Amino acid sequence: MRSRPSPPQEIELKLEVAPSELETVLAHPLLAEKSHGARSQTLHSTYFDTPDHALRQAGISLRVRRDGEQRIQTIKAARRPSSVAVARSEWEHDVESDSPDYALAKDTALEPFLEHSDRIAPVFHVTTERKLRDIAYADSVIEVAADSSTIQGSERTTYFGELELELKDGTAAELFQLALSLSTAAPLRLSFKTKAERGYEAASGEQPTRIKAAPVVLKRKMTSAAAFQVIAVSCLQHLMANEAIVRRVPEADAVHQMRVALRRLRAAMTLFKAVVEDVRRDPIRAELKWMANVLGEARDLDVYIATVLEPARDRYGTDPSYQSLLAEYQKRRDRAYEVAQEAVSSPRFITGVLKTAAWIEAGEWREGSGKAARKLRDQPVAMLADEELGRRWKKIIKRGRHLVELDPDERHQVRIEIKKLRYATEFFDSLFKGGGAKKRKRKALSALEALQETLGELNDIAVGGHMDASPMADVIHWEQMTRVDSLLTDATEHYQKLASLEPYWRS
């Protein structure tokens, strides 16, 4: 079998910006004074796919872009992300018309679909007013493209602004340094969404209500530093995908997924604590905690209403005091979601995410001097996974041995440790596939999930006791308290099952 040539790579950082703020960003001294080759373009792009969007499902985009009389066919193939800066395989060719030339798709990601090329047709159109300039920044040359775009799909037309920083020469790290400098002019929101993805949304009219985390794929010989970046980028993608939903509408499930993404990222920073140690690590973790907390009240109120107040309707639905209590909490929840929506649109949140991305990609931890630091970074992730999973497993077994005697706060800490172990298990899932690891892992996750859920119910009851001091709230809380003994019995059984299992990561 003949080998394919290595495709050229593009590395770019996408930043979403309000169209009205594009000129403000372009007026930044770095762009106004240190750029050269300023030029403008009006780009007309048509994206193609099959009726069932087979190319999209394969991570491929096919477009023909017209710039004046020039037409360029571009094929892009998304790769599993290992970096915040987008890295994609890309093939470009001049073409004669607004339709694809499939003869040019040989030895590209599109080649396997060519036998069905008769089914490929236009899906949506993008018109972009682009302002370009090249920046000599530090030791890099970076192309800055400010785009004001209109997407015409079959279901709707959308508008958006975007700043793309494409590395022409130098280091990806300096992309972030430039982005952070430009963010002083206007909020620049980290974006992983391509124009193609925006176009498919306009074409389908679909509005997602939540997006779960994608699986993380690691290799056993991958360095711990590289593995952390893969995991952290996955968490950021998960966060920003749901952030886009929450900005549109304060959807409860999307808010919950944002909190999950933030918890996963903080858990990853704890797992790789020694690897990513530098002066920015703890301030970054603190800012991520602020983000999670500002989203937390809405979620806590949602859970309390759904698990405590709503089930009490059958018994107290006609009682005016119950009606008043429920209405008050619904009002508090609605306001909490408004606060969450305001928070994700705030400069603090937007800049905090960008700083986090810059730290993941270019933090001092990546270049820390000293033999010990290099050894930690270069250690195969399989070794770190074995150590961390074992340590966390032992900690849970030790702390959970006397669940009944623990106070609510101590039980809650056990639950947090379980959650961290579950996240670690998800992160390292691809490292332990052989032998009986898969079966043992399934049993372990089942036991961990059951114990976490039961401890979560116990914690909800404990928290509910502090939610309100009204007589009706007290009545409902004491009803909940009657469940505690039964839940503790269940928790003990789940713990014993967990403690009897053999750790799955050991061969």
pLDDT for res 462: 87
pLDDT for res 208: 78
Q: Is 238 helix (H, G, I), strand (E, B) or coil?
A: helix
C-beta atoms surrounding 242 within 10 Å: 27
End-to-end CA distance of the chain: 35
Q: pLDDT above 90 covers what percent of the chain?
A: 72
Mean predicted lDDT score pLDDT of the chain: 90
The mean pLDDT value for 134-148 works out to: 93
The reported pTM is 0.89
pLDDT for res 32: 80
Question: Does the pLDDT of residue 313 top 70, yes or no?
Answer: yes
SS (H, E, C) 147-181: EEEEEECCCCEEEEEEEEEEEEECCCHHHHHHHHH
Question: Does the pLDDT of residue 8 top 50, yes or no?
Answer: no
Q: pLDDT above 70 covers what percent of the chain?
A: 95
Question: Does the pLDDT of residue 190 top 50, yes or no?
Answer: yes
* Cβ 268 vs Cβ 427: under 8 Å: yes
The mean pLDDT value for 109-132 works out to: 95
Q: What is the DSSP string of 36-81?
A: EEEEEEEEEEEEEE-TT-HHHHTTEEEEEEEETTEEEEEEEEE---
* Cβ 403 vs Cβ 485: under 8 Å: no
Confidence bin at 395 (pLDDT 50/70/90): very high
pLDDT for res 436: 77
DSSP 187: -
pLDDT digits (tens, 9 = 90+) for 405-421: 999 999 999 999 999 99
Residue with tokens 């079998």: 1
> Using CA atoms in the order 97, 103, 108, 114, what is the torsion angle rounded to 10 degrees?
100
pLDDT digits (tens, 9 = 90+) for 28-41: 998 887 778 789 99
pLDDT for res 7: 43
The mean pLDDT value for 341-361 works out to: 95
Enumerate residues 6+ apart whose C-beta is below 8 A from 332.
301
pLDDT digits (tens, 9 = 90+) for 199-240: 998 888 777 789 999 999 999 999 999 999 999 999 999 999
pLDDT digits (tens, 9 = 90+) for 434-491: 767 888 888 999 999 999 999 999 998 888 777 777 889 889 989 999 999 999 999 9
Question: Does the pLDDT of residue 172 top 90, yes or no?
Answer: no
Question: Does the pLDDT of residue 100 top 60, yes or no?
Answer: yes
Confidence bin at 497 (pLDDT 50/70/90): very high
Confidence bin at 6 (pLDDT 50/70/90): very low
Confidence bin at 2 (pLDDT 50/70/90): very low
pLDDT for res 127: 97
Question: Does the pLDDT of residue 86 top 60, yes or no?
Answer: no
Span of 6-10, 17-21, 64-68, 323-327 with lowest mean pLDDT: 6-10
pLDDT for res 437: 82
Q: Tell me how far apart the alpha carbons of residues 506 and 338 are, in angstroms, rounded to a whole number.
A: 47
Question: Does the pLDDT of residue 5 top 50, yes or no?
Answer: no
The mean pLDDT value for 118-140 works out to: 94
Question: Does the pLDDT of residue 85 top 80, yes or no?
Answer: no
Q: Which residue has the higher pLDDT, 163 or 6?
A: 163
The tokens for 208 are 């997602």
